[in-house]
Structure 1
């Protein structure tokens, strides 16, 4: 696996001023945004790309709101968002839209992925420890509800897990219920 690391650039946002850097692994270009000053034990958010939630502010999921929560917290407290390019739990944008169509017909998020021939969640988090080691970070406060992210960081000391709880609505209630009951998310 070939890993390329970009230069660091400034990234001013509505939440505050960050820096940005890209990590290219094979064909996937992931990126991180981080505060100028990283505390000794920084807040970390591992966030998988969700174009519909992050950019278009869909309320079919909680992704965009989780990202907003993390950016506000990190801008204030110091830390890093590791943004992994693995759309639709790793099935890609094209297949995610097809999964949405199945969801429109009553299938839940897992069933929709399975109808398309995929597992419930194909995401990988093995790049995260490499990124943290690049920054000499070995202790973190992790903002997550996903137990898979916790187990992916076995070489990193998680001093605290910060829940990222987003209010449900009629459009994401079943989605959040499936995340909790079938995927084991800590909601």
Structure 2
């Protein structure tokens, strides 16, 4: 098994495997194992977060499958901008969206590669913000303005007070953030 295959499908960690369509894209593009591990960690958080949201607030409508695909591929542009695997940068965002479109991924799914870093983008809806949130909380990073946008959506749609939505989301994000060290160790075990 190659390092990339271990990163995206290996059974030695308690993270769900990436969806087959994401694995096929990563393998075809020769993605580095570190990228595969990162995408797997974000995907795991997105699965948990979206499962919680569906159960706790069924009135909040979002496309869970799209969010999960977005989480599994959001940084795919880093196959073209590999330096951004270890240093901050945004060149991978539009590059990733273009790359997915060129590979036949529908625009409604490819967009996450372009929107995950800019939750204030006019195109960004609740689906995009959930991918962004998973991409932050996987490593325990909290982003107040992003979380506030999700809180406001929950409160509005569920018909509850903003503070109530905040407490609920905050509790879930704290639980997810508690696993950040293990996810970071998993990612960092793979070469850039």
Which TM-score bucket, shorter chain as reference?
Answer: 0.3 to 0.5
Q: Which has the higher strand share?
A: 1
Relative to the length of structure 2, the TM-score reads 0.32
Instruction: Give the alignment's TM-score, normalised by structure 1.
Output: 0.33
Q: Which has the higher contact order (CA 8 A, sep 6+)?
A: 2
Greater helix share, structure number = 2
